[in-house]
Amino acid sequence: MKPNSPKKEHYAYSKHGSCSILAAIEPKTGQRLAHVRRQRTKQQFTWFMKNLAQNYPNADKIIVVLDNLNTHTPNAFYEILEAENAEKLANRFEFVYTPKPASWLNIIEIEFSALLRQCLNRRIASINELSKQVMCYFKERIDKKIIINWQFSCESARQNLNKHYKQVNPINIKYKKTN
């Protein structure tokens, strides 16, 4: 400190932990599934996907749109489950990964944004309280039958992501924006 200067204090933020929220939405029915966990691990992802598969026992294939987190792969199943069970679980799903600069294509990311604005816009003291708040939020969305009317087409995605397509392969210039 300099002589004759005011005393200065630094704001100290104390982080009391973090956690992971795993969630899924069935767009046309508004059904949602959410889990709050202490960590984001391959084990947590595997148990979530196993739970998701149990919700659709008659489905031949469950299409899941995911971001590119390192835990979001069918390889996680093989690290956690016996090979035979991992294969059965992996065969239940078709994973579609959103491009890294386009997480807005993933409907659950939009839902997380709404969750953040409507529910998580304050400090929550414990993981138990957080879990209670998140589950209450998702239950309310289910009860209100809030569905997703997704109108974004593959062609729109190609136009919006054109600069990334061109970086990968210049022949993709054909996907020009037509506005």
pLDDT tens sequence across 95-120: 988 877 777 778 888 899 899 999 88
| Mean pLDDT rounded to a whole number for the chain | 86
Percent of the chain residues topping a pLDDT of 90: 47
The one-letter code for the residue type at 4 is N
Q: What is the pLDDT of residue 31?
A: 93
Taking Cα atoms as reference points, which of 115, 148, 113, 112 lies closest to residue 29? 148
Distance CA(11)–CA(8), nearest Å, equals: 10
Going by their DSSP bridges, the two strands 31-37 and 20-26 should be labelled as antiparallel
Domain 20-148 in this protein, CATH class:
alpha beta
Condensed to tens digits (0 to 9), the pLDDT of residues 1-22 reads 678 888 776 666 566 667 889 9
Annotated domain spans of the chain: 20-148, 151-179
Averaged pLDDT, 24-52: 93
Tell if the pTM clears 0.85, that is, is over it. no
Instruction: Check pLDDT > 60 for residue 54.
Output: yes
Averaged pLDDT, 56-84: 93
8-12, 90-94, 102-106, 137-141: segment of lowest average pLDDT: 8-12
Q: What is the pLDDT of residue 175?
A: 59
Residues 113, 96, 87, CA angle at the centre, nearest 5°?
120
Averaged pLDDT, 70-82: 94
